[in-house]
Amino acid sequence: MRDDKIQKLVWAGLFTALTTVATIAIPIPSPTGGYVHAGDALVILSAFLLGPAWGAVAAGLGSALADIFTHHIVFAPVTLIIKALMALSAGAILRRAKNKSSIKSAVLGSVIAELIMVAGYFAFEAVFLGLGWGAIAGVLPNCIQAVFGAVAGTALFYALLRIPYVKKTF
């Protein structure tokens, strides 16, 4: 492996752990058995800093591990997919921008990612958990989490870009 691949792997491992901890740290229970958490901020941040592929790995694994550690094992596979898709889309939207620190692209990427999360969990709960339209009860908590995740993740990204090491490395 080249040094840059090893460095990305190490950063992905770090963001996997940070995403897991941010998801578990302060859980706020939601009506459908899930919980609102700060993990989405790290999902967005990992997408923006690591890029679509490595960000998807870190976001998906970190979030799925949080589900496993908090005994929400039934959600782990779908969380892996949803959070990976979130990071993949947010990272791709930001990377496609001519200016890699474009606030417009970052906000658009965050919003699209969070829409994927809300729709993904609604579909999973409605179809696979058999809640049908009862899954609508989870939409509001997921929207609250989405707004927090998008705002906090984007704000953290721009705050970290002010650090010369971060700007140079990512």
3-169 to CATH, choices 2.30.130.10, 1.10.1760.20, 3.30.499.10, 3.40.640.10: 1.10.1760.20
User: What is the rounded CA–CA span in Å between residue 20 and residue 66?
Assistant: 5
pLDDT confidence of residue 1: 57
For residues 143 and 136, the answer to whether their CB atoms sit within 8 Å is no
Q: Which of 42, 44, 48, 53 is nearest to 20 (CA)?
A: 42
* pLDDT > 90? residue 36: no
Residue that the structure tokens 């705050």 belong to: 159
Average pLDDT over residues 112-125: 97
Q: Please give the model's pTM, rounded to 2 decimal places.
A: 0.92
Local confidence band at 81 (pLDDT 50, 70, 90 cut-offs) = very high
* pLDDT > 70? residue 77: yes
Average pLDDT over residues 98-104: 82
pLDDT confidence of residue 90: 97
* pLDDT > 90? residue 3: no
Burial of 49 (0-12, 13-18, 19+ CB in 10 A): buried
Average pLDDT over residues 65-89: 96
Domain residue ranges in the chain: 3-169
Q: Which of 27-41, 64-78, 95-109 has the highest mean pLDDT?
A: 64-78
